[in-house]
Amino acid sequence: LLAGAAPRAGQEQSTSDLDREAVGWGFDPPVMKLAVTMAAPSADDNGSDVGRLLRELKLGHDLHNVSVDFGVLRTLSEVLRAGDWHVTATVVSTRFESTLGSRQSRGLRRPKLIRVEPGDTTGCHCILALDIGTTSVWGQLIHIPKRTVIATASDYNGQISFGEDVITRIVHAERAGGLEELQKAVVRTVNKVVADLLEQTGMDRGCISAVSAAGNTTMTHLLLGLPPRYIRAAPYVLTTSLFPPVKARSLGLDLEDSVSVYAFPAVASYVGGDIVAGVLGAGFYRHKDLTLYMDLGTNGEVVLGGSDWMVSASCSAGPALEGGGVRCGVRASPGAIDAFALDGDTREPRIRTMGEHKPIGICGVGLIEMIAELLGHGILEANGKFDAQRGGARVREGEDGVEYLLVAARDSATGDDIVLTERDIENIVRSKAAMYAGVMTLLDSVSLDIGDIQRIIVAGALGNYLDIEKCKQVGLFPDVPREVFSYIGNGSLLGARLVALSNELLDDAERIAKMITNIELSDHPGFYDNYLSAMFLPHTDMKQFPHVAVKLGRG
């Protein structure tokens, strides 16, 4: 399983206190467990078993018009008698059940009885929140009565063996049996994550009452077994942007029969439920402030707006910011170089590795730090080329062209030199340029400017460990004051767990998906210019980076 590095001081996730969040939004969990004591049958009472139970839910719990899942009926008579008429009813009370309807369906919220257990099991009641990432799957158990996260686990998405990126997987899904393979692979991963969560907590599997899942559009399609074929080509058509609840067992998830998977709705082919969940978690859709939401990841999505409107774009940033496509790039894991500085006098590098292990390579955070620092010292130029003179002996000709020697083979855990090549830098510049150009294009599309941005919310596991100043220095983030920025960590997982506590937020998910207008960057006339301008460090137009310019002495 993935190891997580400690967040930088002051950049801890501001959202770990679910209780506070829940109070803020109103605690009203979509899936409830209710202890019910009902009347035993008698000759005077013409009612059926389920009739008496529903009557008790009405009189004792003010739940009216409850529908009943057929699965409940199969065992109901025995369960009621096994509990001697003291039972626990699991009731889903969510508009998610009517997720595919129009706005009119909002009036149709109708509780549904999905499970009845003997005795009082109200303490055994968790929601599994999932972030189904292209690379990693994260899971958290939310204990509903305690309103708290009781465990977190993650693993690489088993689909990686069929291709690292979304497009490769869509292509694989088009082959005979390919969709089933991919669906099974991610389900295996989720089952492993669940096993880990249960082991951590000692909870019984039966205590998972529902699953809330956020993922990009392709990941959601593949999890649910929907063919993703038409996502990848213009006009980028989704089968559906709203997903009805699906029985977990029917997908192969090792959970109770009664458990359904509630998947976040998608905005468009490349702006999926993960972004909707992130926007939900970030909360800015409820405020007027012009907010920029940046999700740093392989896809690299950005959302701009507030409570009146939102536009989004998918930047196809590529994996470089996560260490992918970089010669000595590694994921954030023990031994990854995640901090870099040059000695003021000797210009010799000082590095830090995660867990203080011997270095195995450079992770995304480390790559940004290196580029920023080398740039600051003039060893790297604005065009992404090394200045051989300033770089000294460490800048040399390597296999892939010019490179900077960071760790010599004798000091590395791999037994090879750890280097940063000009080609690596090119890849990273392409990634950051794509993100930045996405931001600029969104601003252009609504005729606004960087100066109008009032808040920037950075999401993505990477985000928590980034140094804002260094991100500005390389041109990944806009050059605005530090206090404009905040971090929310894994936004997708945050949103997935918040809806477990609040029907209001669950409703908001659909509202957000419908509210966001997606901009296809490749169709937008200004995007390519924005992209080319951002292919420098930090940018060709230094007027956009006034404070960085001063710092780099290019003011």
Judged by the rule CB under 8 A, the positions of this chain that interact with a copy of itself are 41-43, 45-46, 48-51, 54, 58, 64-70, 73-78, 98, 100-102, 104-105, 108, 110, 224-227, 229-230, 234-235, 237-241, 243-246, 268, 517-518, 520, 523
The 3-state secondary structure of 370-433, one letter per residue: HHHHHHHCCCECCCCCECHHHHHHHEEEECCEEEEEEECHHHCCCCCCEEEEHHHHHHHHHHHH
DSSP annotation of 327 reads T
* 98 vs 421, beta carbon nearer a copy of itself: 98
Quick one: tokens of 229?
Answer: 């074929």
Closest contact distance (angstroms) between CB of 513 and a copy of itself is 11
Closest contact distance (angstroms) between CB of 522 and a copy of itself is 11
* 179 vs 380, beta carbon nearer a copy of itself: 179
* 245 vs 364, beta carbon nearer a copy of itself: 245
- Contacts with 350 (C-beta within 8 Å, 6 or more apart), sequence order: 340, 341, 342, 343
Quick one: tokens of 107?
Answer: 């009036």
Helix ranges (H only) for 26-69 are 49-61
CA 10 to chain centroid:
21
* 7 vs 244, beta carbon nearer a copy of itself: 244
Quick one: tokens of 119?
Answer: 């005795």
Interatomic CA distance for residues 170 and 186, integer angstroms: 14
Closest contact distance (angstroms) between CB of 230 and a copy of itself is 5
* 180 vs 289, beta carbon nearer a copy of itself: 180
Q: No. of H helices and E strands in the chain?
A: 16, 22
Closest contact distance (angstroms) between CB of 54 and a copy of itself is 8
Interatomic CA distance for residues 221 and 244, integer angstroms: 12
CB 374 within 8 A of CB 394: no
Interatomic CA distance for residues 301 and 308, integer angstroms: 20
* 12 vs 78, beta carbon nearer a copy of itself: 78
Interatomic CA distance for residues 59 and 64, integer angstroms: 9
Closest contact distance (angstroms) between CB of 37 and a copy of itself is 17
Interatomic CA distance for residues 82 and 451, integer angstroms: 66
* 16 vs 522, beta carbon nearer a copy of itself: 522
Closest contact distance (angstroms) between CB of 119 and a copy of itself is 20
CB 214 within 8 A of CB 264: yes
* 9 vs 43, beta carbon nearer a copy of itself: 43
Burial (0-12, 13-18, 19+ Cβ within 10 Å), 62:
exposed
Closest contact distance (angstroms) between CB of 73 and a copy of itself is 5
Helix (H, G, I), strand (E, B) or coil at 2: coil
* 108 vs 550, beta carbon nearer a copy of itself: 108
Closest contact distance (angstroms) between CB of 477 and a copy of itself is 29
What residue type is assigned to position 379 of the chain?
Answer: I
Closest contact distance (angstroms) between CB of 42 and a copy of itself is 6
* 100 vs 550, beta carbon nearer a copy of itself: 100
CB 326 within 8 A of CB 432: no
- Contacts with 166 (C-beta within 8 Å, 6 or more apart), sequence order: 134, 216, 218, 219, 232, 298, 299
CB 493 within 8 A of CB 129: yes
* 48 vs 161, beta carbon nearer a copy of itself: 48
Closest contact distance (angstroms) between CB of 435 and a copy of itself is 23
Closest contact distance (angstroms) between CB of 471 and a copy of itself is 32
